[in-house]
Each structure stands twice: as structure tokens, then as C-alpha cells.
Chains A and B, each alone.
Chain A
Amino acid sequence: MSKLVIIIILTLSLTLHFYHIAKLTRGLAPIEVAHALLAHELRSLSFGNRQFSSSFDTPSFAYSAFASIMFSVFDYGIWQLRATSALAGTASAISLYFLAYKLLQLGSHRFSNNTPLHINSFLATIIFIFSPWSIHFSRFASAHNLGLAIYLLGTWLFSLLLSSKSGNPTRYRYLIIFAFSLSLFLAYSCVPYFAAASLLGCALILICFVYRKIIPYLVAIYLVAIFYLILSGKLAIYFSYYSLINLFFGLDIASVYRVSEVGLLLAPFLPFLLLGIYHIATLPTLRAYFFTSILVHPLLLLLFSPQHPNYANGLVLLPYLSLGIALGLTRFTKLLRSYRFAFRFSNFLPFMSGSLIFVFAGYAFMSFWHIYHQHYPLDAWPQWSTHWTKGALYIAQSYPQATQVVMEESPEVISYVQFFDLVFHNQVSRTLIGLESATALHASLPDGAVVGISGWRATPPNFQNTHHISLPDQQGTVIYKIGLWRQI
């Protein structure tokens, strides 16, 4: 049974994460390019001898390290760059399955319980796999997803350790302690502060639950933090994490870190999350406190998240919300069973309800998939720098001999050119030259050694053979152009 479950999780997760990963989303986010260049640096240069510095984003060391392994095995490329994130998403799903099982076991075996653990944890994992954010974050080179995977893995390892404490000895206790410590370090490296803090917070809750009640202290911390937020004027931003609209419907915000009008989770699951919270509240006292603490602890930690509002940090909410929804679905099933007996129906009511939930969830997922693939690339192309990606791709392919690139626009574009040089020529040799310097030096610059890149509105002097790159929308109209010029 367990093997079959793992196979299902792996198949679904890998399919959703790797399907057309290099083409969708179109373009590369600046952070992805930064990760690629740091990965190249780690792979080809000695440690500490940095060649590239990113002025526009801070690449994660851990993510780049994993990406450099992918580059070593599969060579440079977009899917190789994003594969770490896709695998991290899959690892998160697997970790969540085991973690949810362990949490349910920890929260129930000390008391009378008849919760179907396997079903609950499998449901939580499926909800997690099909959640829009999980899919989105697994399809681009962002360290947040890796942080989430490490965080879930670390929490699971810690829960294993606790299981061994409470009468089920584990032979690999010391190995687990080492792995847990490593996960803390890696989580910190991935997403500084937050993933590690969440991991530590969850570990503390687990410890406190096994040894002592902690609710009053959690509440006290919460109140103090609220006071801090009131005084610092950050309360409004923090409240956005609690927004049900944000979580289930999304906002009309174009960003690398969020798909416009798509929530963290599929909208039909909202009633089941509420039912899940109700289910937790009605459990016996200690179990209720335990699950409540587990469910809300990321929210508590988000209070201290230094960057507000940080939807990427809010990713940590996802596994626990999935668990809450799974509990709600279980409660709903129980409710249906009781009605079935009350009305002496056969299996009609549960079957109909199950089918309806499936249809609604399926429809919501189909709608998300459509928006993600058809609408999102059109809405968020500036954030995904689709124009820079296309321009840099063109330079790398058409002007391999040019050693200098003149920028009229943002200097970040040079990183894109360098990345595609890696992909096509396996080396980085070009340097950046500012437009003003290029104009002043233009007589002394060797012919054919300089290419230029500019926004479509202005054409700098001293360049010719303008090549326009258009970014067509679905209707075929031009919405952006990039001019490329060679020096005369």
C-alpha cells in the first residue's frame, strides 16, 4: 500500500513539475539567472574566488550548489536550472506524506483515536501536490521551494526522533540528529532565517507537546508580537497572510512569486479547511492544542518575517493548510456516513458528494492550469523578463564573436547574455559597457566586437542593423520590442 502511494505521489508530482518546464513559464526571472551564474561559479571556479556578482538579486548558495550538480550531470540549460526546484517540490510532497502521518500518529496515539492516518496523510499530500503555489514554485529556480522541502524533511526527521523517545526506539537516532542539524543549516542557507525558524518552531512544538503543554506561552508570544506589529505599523501587511481571498482566490498582482488571480490553494477546498479547523477544535483538549499549534505556528513565525509581505515565505503555510483540509475532508466523510445511516440510503449520498467534490476540485485545477499556461505568461512577462530572455538568446546565438555588450536598458541583461553563452558556448566571456562610454569610445572599438541592446522606445546612435524582437500576445499583436545594433 505504502509503495503504491509513494509511486502515485511521485508520478503526479514529477509530471506536474517537469511538464514543459523549460518553456513554461516563458522567460527567466532575474533570480533564476543569478542562481545559474552562481552555480556555474561553484562548478568551475575555486571556492571563494567569485567572478560574478549579482546587483539585482541574492542567489541562494544551497540552490546554486544543487543546480551546479544538475549542470554537471546534464550540462547547462533552462530545465537543468529549474530541475532542482521541481525535485524539491516532489521531495516536499513525499516528506509531507511521512510528516503528516507522523504528526497524526504523535497527536493521536497517546489518546483514543480512530483517525485513518494513511488516508489523511495521503489526502494532505494530494491537496499539496495539486495546490497552485506548490506547482508554480516547483517550476522555476527559486530557493523557497528547496527551503520548504528541507524544512519538511527536517521536521519529519525530528518527529521520527520523538517517536523513538516515546517508546519506539530508532536505531539511527544519532544519524537523524545529524540529518536534522544539517537540514537546519540548509534551510537557513536556502531562505535565510525563515525556513530555519519555522523548522525550529515546529520542533519546539513537538518537544513541548511530548513533554509539556505550551499553549499559554505560544499565546503570550503571539500577543507580544501583535503589540510589536501595532507599534511598528506592520500589522496590515501581516494580516494579508490570513486573507482567505489571498489564500483561495488570489489577487490581481503580476509577480514572479505569485500567479495573478490564483490562490495558494484551490478554491473548492475552502469549506473543508474551515471544517478541518472545526474538527481540530472539537478534538480532546491536548490533541486540539497540539494540532492547533502545528497549524498556526507558521503564522506565528511569519510575524517575525523580516520582509513584509512575503508571499514566498508564506509557502510554509501550505503543508499545514493541506493537512487541515485533509482533516476537514475526513470529517465530512464521517458526517456523510452518519447521514447515510440516518436516512437509510445506500452509498448514494457519499458517492454523490465525493463526485461533486472531485468535479469542483477538478474544474478548479483545470481553470488554474489554463490560466497558468495561457494567461499568466501574458500578464507577467515583465516580471519574467521575457523580452530580456529573448534578446539575450538572440545575442548569444547570432553574435558569438562580440566581446562587449552595450546596455541602454538595465545592466541586469548582461547576466542573461552570460547565461545563454553558457548554454550555447559553454563559457562566459562577454563584458558590459555603458551606453555613454560606448558612444565616447565608439571610434576606438573594434568592428564586430560590440553588440547593443535597448528598449524599443529609443534607438541609441552609432548602431545599425536593428533587429526587432517582438513578444506576441495570443492575438498576435506586438506588445514589446528589443533593438539590437552592431557598431558601424
Chain B
Amino acid sequence: MKKATLIAILIIATFLRTYNLNRVPPGFYSDEASWAYNAYSIFLTGRDEFGRLLPWSFEAFGDYKLGVTVYSILPAYAIFGISDWSARLPTAIYGVLTVYGIYLLCRELQKQHYSAVHQQQLPLLAAGILALTPGHIFMSRGIWDVQAALCYTVFGIVFFLKAIHRLSSQSISRASLSYLILSALSFVLSMYSYNSSRVLTPLILLFLFTNYFKFLFPTSSRKFLTRNLLSLALPVSLSLLLLLPQLFALTTPQVLQRARYVSIFQHGEVEAKLYAAIQKDPIGQPVLLTRLLHNKPIFYSAEFFQNYLSHYELDFLFLAGDTFEIFQVQGSGILLVLFLPFLVFGLYASLRYHYAYRNLAWFLLLISPIPSALTIFTPSVSRAQLLVIPLAIFTASGALFAIQLLSNHNNRFIVRAFLMVIFSSLIFNFSYWFKQYYIQNPPLVATKWNDGWRELSAILAQSLDQNTPILVSNAQAPSYIFLSWYWRIPPAALWQTRVTDFQPDSNGLNNTTQILNHIYFSKQIQSSCQKLQTPAVCVGFFGELANGQVITNSYSQPVFQLSKLH
């Protein structure tokens, strides 16, 4: 019965993460195109778009994307061919695996050695809730590196717990050592998947080590202590060895370029607030007082805490979601509204009773927003994606707690009626979200998701000869990557012909200005067009050019203007 339920949950999770995958979300975001093209380049040549052999970090737009996501796409290309759908599939699979991972995680947590309160149905319910969690579904449906990181983090914890439960009475057994190595590999992969993991994984490891210290070192006997330390040395040294490239790369300024742009410490917003506050102080106020009240440590701390707390805002969790439009679904946050009472029950019950999952879930809940709080544009679904794990566990636990409270009630009719109401409300709530996300939302966000590039690429490919100069607007996204992806430009041709300005722009990204000798990119399309020698073609975003053929996206919305200069 349990197995059948788990399989049903996984089937539902798979359906929700793969249904109409190439159309929802619409288009292909610039980061997605970059991952897809780099995977294509690796698939054909073993080198990235700049011609580097099997890199662990991809320069891309100058944001140095971590490599696991790119390498995960390769099997999908091999099996299903090269397409938008197959490029998105691995992320969806990571999403489904995470659903299975949370099941395993809760099951392992229930096997704690010490006497804790157990909820037998927690693993299945937590998996079910994660399968239906909007914030997890829509982050599994694009190519987002965070999904791989989340999956590896969950499995890293699962393997660690499996290792703990397979410890013999006093020393580390062979089985537990194997799991420790698997755990170490999972954590290393998570750190090679997403930047936030570089902050979160060490914290999680520290927690696991301190929380399970007495299991790892159950005796103070010198002999066993030394033996266990030696056993632990293997996974630890293996991890450090695998992480060496990252450690060395951290010192290079290029890798930190993007981090600098998104960090609250470099963005300048806090300094502007600080300056405005100083301006409001009365003339003649002692300088010491001004410095005491308006200084960088205080303003940065306040900014950090506000960013951090913004991830626990109910509006973010249940109604509005991310600040980025592409991660928004109208009227929906990262959880279904109906989960709210159960989440509250779960949090409250976990404080009252010593549930087996308590320490880990609270720890994950508290640390998840830390990387995101250090950056601008908060609250962020993607940077704080780990949050969905504790939230799903608490919601599941709260639902079980509520059912337990109800089952104590004498009147069976009331209990059944209540459960019926909750269940039908859940179906209604999820159906509403499903309709919003899969039907209502795509046309609303199509242009934000760069829908229309496929159509433009097709038109340009059909109607132009090879040598006509084409000038394409670079105003909204690095346009070269869309043409490279949709035209499937051979990687070698790109290496040889691309002209890239590596000086970071205001967004901290580099700027590719030419590919294939006759395709040019400019941020000021109108003025650049006037300088072109005819015949040529100018392509601007809708409204950028004075006139020209309007090119629409898959929802018939005008996206580009194409002007042929004779």
C-alpha cells in the first residue's frame, strides 16, 4: 500500500513537472538558452561556447554558471535529441527525484535511535505535499541550476542519515562508510551545481556533524575514536580533493564578478539609503552622533535582516511569490494557500513535541534564506529554494497533527465532514493554481520568458542569404545566445567568429557584439542601424525601431520589429 501510494505520488510529481514542458513556461529564458547551448557544445565537441575543454564552471555571460546542470543535460540530448524539451527534462527529473528524496529523508529521520515522537505517515505526506508545492513545480520546469543543487543536498543528507543508522555499536562499519562517501559526493555535486550551496552546504555539514556527533563517536575509547576518525578522513579528504578547483577559483576576480553585482555590499542601494539618512540629520549635529547612528555595519545588518525576514512573509509564501516576474504565477506564492493552517499547526506542534524531524527541519528553515539575504532582489524563490523542504515537512506534520487531534473527537461524522471539506478544498485550490500556471500565466509572461526568439530565428534563417549583415538588439538579453541555440550554430564557428567585450556592463555581464562575421549586436539599435552599410537587416524589440515587419511570439504578441535596409 505504501509503495503504491509512493508510486502514485511520483507519477503525479512527474506529470506536473513534465506536462507540456516545452510550452510551459513559454519561450526560453536567456540563462536556459545559455545552458542548453553550452550542453550542445559539450555534447558535440567536449568544449564550452568559448572552446574550453570540459570546464566545471561555464563563463557564459560572465556569470560563471556551475557545471552540473550542463553535464546533466547531455544524457537527455543523447536519448531524446537536441531540443528545448530535452534540455529542460533533467531539471524536471531532479524535481521528481527531490520528491523521492524528501520521502527518504523523512523515513530516515523516523529511524532516529533516541526516543522521539514519530508520525508514521510523514514520509508519504511530505512527498505528496512537495509534489504539489507550486514553488517547487515551477522551479523544476525550466533549466535552473538550483534544482540539481536541491536534489543533491537532500540526497547528501539522506545518505548521511543512512550512514548513521548503519553504524555498528562502536565503530563505523563498511556499509556506513559507503554511505558517508555517497553523502560526501552528493554534497560536492550540490556545491558544483549552484552558488547558494557554497554557503549552505558547509552549514548543513556542520549541523549534521554536531547533531550526530554522539553517533559518530559513541565511545571515548581511544582505539575506537582513532578508528572512527580515520574512517571519516576518507570521505572528508575525498570531498576536499574534489573541491580543490573551486577553492582555487574563488580567488580569481572573474568568478566573483557576478557575486559582486548581486551582493547587497556592492550594489549601492544601501549606501544610497545611508547617504539619504545622513542628509536628513540637522546641521550642527555632532559628527560622532551621525556616525554612531548612520553607519555601514548597521545599515548592512538591517538590510540583511530585512531580506532574510522577507522570505518568511506570508505574502511571499502564499500569495505573491518571487520579485522576478518570470517566477511569478498570478495570485500564487510558493505554497498553496490551503497549506497555511497546516504549516502553522506543524510549526507549533514541532515546538511542543520532540518530533524526529524537528532539529533538522528547523535548522533548514532558518538557514535557507541566508544566501538570498546577502543579495539584492529578495525574497527569491530560486536562491532560497531549499526552503521548500522544511516547509513541506512542517506542513505534512501539521496535517497529521490536525488529523490526530480530530481523531480524538467523539463525533465521527464531524471528523469525516471536516476531512472531506479539507480534501475538496485542496483539490479546488490546486486545480485553481494548475489553471493559473498552465493556462492563464503563459501568455502573461511570454515576453518576459523571451518567447518569440524561435520565430525570429526561423524567419531570419529562411529569408536571408549568408552574407547580409544583421544587426540585432541586445537591449533586453544577450541576444547572441538565442540565435546560437535556435540556429544550432556549430561551436567551432562560434569560437572562431565571436567578438566579446569582457569588460562587465552595469549588470556585471560581458557583452558579445558579433558572431559569424555578419551578425552584430547592439544595445542602441536605432542609432547603430543608421550607421550600417546597405543592404542590411535591423532587428529591434517591439517599439525600438520606427518601422519594420512585426514579428510575434507563439501567443501572437508583438515582440520584434524587423527592418530591411536596401
B-contacting residues of A (Cβ < 8 Å)? 216, 219, 222-223, 226-227, 230, 235-236, 239-240, 242-245, 248-249, 267, 277-278, 281-282, 288, 292, 366-367, 370, 374-375, 378-379, 473-476
Q: Are B348 and A281 in contact (CB under 8 A)?
A: yes
Q: Are B352 and A281 in contact (CB under 8 A)?
A: yes
Pick the residue among B281, B282, B310 that contacts A245 (CB under 8 A). Answer: B310
- In the bound complex, CA of A248 to CA of B306 (Å): 9
Pick the residue among B281, B283, B309 that contacts A249 (CB under 8 A). Answer: B309
Q: Is B337 an interface residue (CB 8 A)?
A: yes
Within 8 A of A (CB), among B330-345: 337, 340-341
Q: Are B340 and A226 in contact (CB under 8 A)?
A: yes
Given contacts A239-B314, A249-B302, contact A474 B337 (CB under 8 A): no
Give B269 Cβ to nearest chain A Cβ, in Å: 12
Known: A236-B315, A244-B313, A475-B283. 5 other contacts (CB 8 A): A222-B341, A239-B315, A239-B318, A379-B280, A473-B280
Give B380 Cβ to nearest chain A Cβ, in Å: 15
Q: Summarize B's interface: helix, strand, loop or mixed.
A: helix
Given contacts A244-B309, A366-B293, A476-B283, contact A282 B351 (CB under 8 A): yes
Give B408 Cβ to nearest chain A Cβ, in Å: 10
Q: Are B293 and A367 in contact (CB under 8 A)?
A: yes
Bitwise, B257-290 to A at CB < 8 A (1) or not (0) is 0000000000000000000010111110100010
Q: Are A378 and B280 in contact (CB under 8 A)?
A: yes
Q: Are B341 and A239 in contact (CB under 8 A)?
A: no
Q: Which 4 A-B pairs have the closest CB atoms?
A: A281-B351, A239-B314, A375-B280, A474-B282
Q: Are B305 and A249 in contact (CB under 8 A)?
A: yes
Pick the residue among B280, B285, B289, B351 that contacts A277 (CB under 8 A). Answer: B351
CB-CB nearest in chain A for B280: A375
Given contacts A226-B341, A375-B277, contact A239 B313 (CB under 8 A): yes
- In the bound complex, CA of A248 to CA of B313 (Å): 13
- In the bound complex, CA of A314 to CA of B405 (Å): 31
Q: Are A235 and B337 in contact (CB under 8 A)?
A: yes
CB-CB nearest in chain A for B409: A216
Q: Is B367 an interface residue (CB 8 A)?
A: no
Given contacts A226-B340, A245-B310, contact A240 B283 (CB under 8 A): no
Q: Are A249 and B306 in contact (CB under 8 A)?
A: yes
Most chain A CB within a 10 A radius of its CB, from B283, B289, B340, B351: B351
Residues on the B chain within 8 Å of A278, using CB? 351
CB-CB nearest in chain A for B282: A474
Q: Are A245 and B309 in contact (CB under 8 A)?
A: yes
CB-CB nearest in chain B for A229: B337
Give A360 Cβ to nearest chain B Cβ, in Å: 11
For B, the interface residue count at a CB cutoff of 8 angstroms equals 31
Q: Are A236 and B340 in contact (CB under 8 A)?
A: no
Q: Are A374 and B280 in contact (CB under 8 A)?
A: yes
- In the bound complex, CA of A216 to CA of B409 (Å): 10
Given contacts A239-B318, A282-B352, contact A474 B341 (CB under 8 A): no
Within 8 A of A (CB), among B395-437: 405, 409, 425
Q: Is B19 an interface residue (CB 8 A)?
A: no
Pairs across A and B, CB under 8 Å, 28 listed: A219-B341, A222-B341, A223-B341, A226-B337, A226-B341, A227-B425, A235-B318, A236-B320, A239-B314, A242-B314, A243-B314, A243-B315, A244-B309, A245-B306, A245-B309, A245-B313, A248-B309, A249-B302, A249-B309, A267-B302, A281-B351, A288-B352, A367-B293, A370-B289, A474-B282, A474-B283, A475-B283, A476-B283
Bitwise, B292-320 to A at CB < 8 A (1) or not (0) is 01000010001001100110111100111
- In the bound complex, CA of A216 to CA of B281 (Å): 52
- In the bound complex, CA of A301 to CA of B321 (Å): 26
Give A373 Cβ to nearest chain B Cβ, in Å: 9
Residues on the A chain within 8 Å of B348, using CB? 281, 292
Give A246 Cβ to nearest chain B Cβ, in Å: 9
Give B272 Cβ to nearest chain A Cβ, in Å: 12
CB-CB nearest in chain A for B418: A220
Residues on the B chain within 8 Å of A374, using CB? 280-282, 285
Residues on the B chain within 8 Å of A267, using CB? 302, 305
CB-CB nearest in chain B for A277: B351
Residues on the A chain within 8 Å of B318, using CB? 235, 239
Give A221 Cβ to nearest chain B Cβ, in Å: 12
Q: Summarize A's interface: helix, strand, loop or mixed.
A: helix
Residues on the A chain within 8 Å of B298, using CB? 367
- In the bound complex, CA of A282 to CA of B309 (Å): 24
Residues on the A chain within 8 Å of B405, using CB? 216
Pick the residue among A226, A235, A277, A282 that contacts B319 (CB under 8 A). Answer: A235
Residues on the B chain within 8 Å of A243, using CB? 313-315
- In the bound complex, CA of A95 to CA of B10 (Å): 57
Given contacts A245-B310, A249-B309, contact A239 B319 (CB under 8 A): yes
Give B441 Cβ to nearest chain A Cβ, in Å: 18
Residues on the A chain within 8 Å of B281, using CB? 374, 474
CB-CB nearest in chain B for A252: B273
Bitwise, B48-74 to A at CB < 8 A (1) or not (0) is 000000000000000000000000000
- In the bound complex, CA of A366 to CA of B288 (Å): 14
Given contacts A243-B314, A281-B351, contact A474 B319 (CB under 8 A): no
Given contacts A277-B351, A370-B293, contact A475 B312 (CB under 8 A): no
Give B228 Cβ to nearest chain A Cβ, in Å: 26
Most chain A CB within a 10 A radius of its CB, from B285, B306, B341, B405: B306
- In the bound complex, CA of A242 to CA of B316 (Å): 12
Most chain A CB within a 10 A radius of its CB, from B283, B302, B310, B315: B315
- In the bound complex, CA of A476 to CA of B352 (Å): 58
Give A107 Cβ to nearest chain B Cβ, in Å: 16
Residues on the B chain within 8 Å of A474, using CB? 279-283
Residues on the A chain within 8 Å of B314, using CB? 239, 242-243
Residues on the A chain within 8 Å of B277, using CB? 375
Residues on the A chain within 8 Å of B320, using CB? 236
Residues on the A chain within 8 Å of B302, using CB? 249, 267
Pick the residue among A248, A277, A475 that contacts B279 (CB under 8 A). Answer: A475
CB-CB nearest in chain B for A246: B313
Give A370 Cβ to nearest chain B Cβ, in Å: 5
Residues on the A chain within 8 Å of B315, using CB? 236, 239-240, 243
Give A355 Cβ to nearest chain B Cβ, in Å: 18
CB-CB nearest in chain B for A292: B348
CB-CB nearest in chain B for A366: B293
Residues on the B chain within 8 Å of A379, using CB? 280
- In the bound complex, CA of A474 to CA of B282 (Å): 5
Residues on the A chain within 8 Å of B313, using CB? 239, 242-245
Give A366 Cβ to nearest chain B Cβ, in Å: 7
- In the bound complex, CA of A316 to CA of B315 (Å): 22
- In the bound complex, CA of A278 to CA of B362 (Å): 12
CB-CB nearest in chain B for A227: B425
Most chain B CB within a 10 A radius of its CB, from A239, A249, A267: A239
CB-CB nearest in chain A for B344: A222
CB-CB nearest in chain B for A474: B282
CB-CB nearest in chain B for A278: B351
- In the bound complex, CA of A227 to CA of B428 (Å): 12
- In the bound complex, CA of A216 to CA of B289 (Å): 53
Residues on the B chain within 8 Å of A235, using CB? 318-319, 337
CB-CB nearest in chain A for B422: A223
Residues on the A chain within 8 Å of B306, using CB? 245, 249
Give B334 Cβ to nearest chain A Cβ, in Å: 14
CB-CB nearest in chain A for B432: A230
- In the bound complex, CA of A111 to CA of B289 (Å): 50
Give A214 Cβ to nearest chain B Cβ, in Å: 14
Residues on the B chain within 8 Å of A240, using CB? 315
Residues on the B chain within 8 Å of A242, using CB? 313-314
Residues on the A chain within 8 Å of B282, using CB? 374, 474
- In the bound complex, CA of A236 to CA of B298 (Å): 30
- In the bound complex, CA of A223 to CA of B405 (Å): 15
CB-CB nearest in chain B for A249: B306
Give A276 Cβ to nearest chain B Cβ, in Å: 11
Give A94 Cβ to nearest chain B Cβ, in Å: 32
Give A379 Cβ to nearest chain B Cβ, in Å: 8
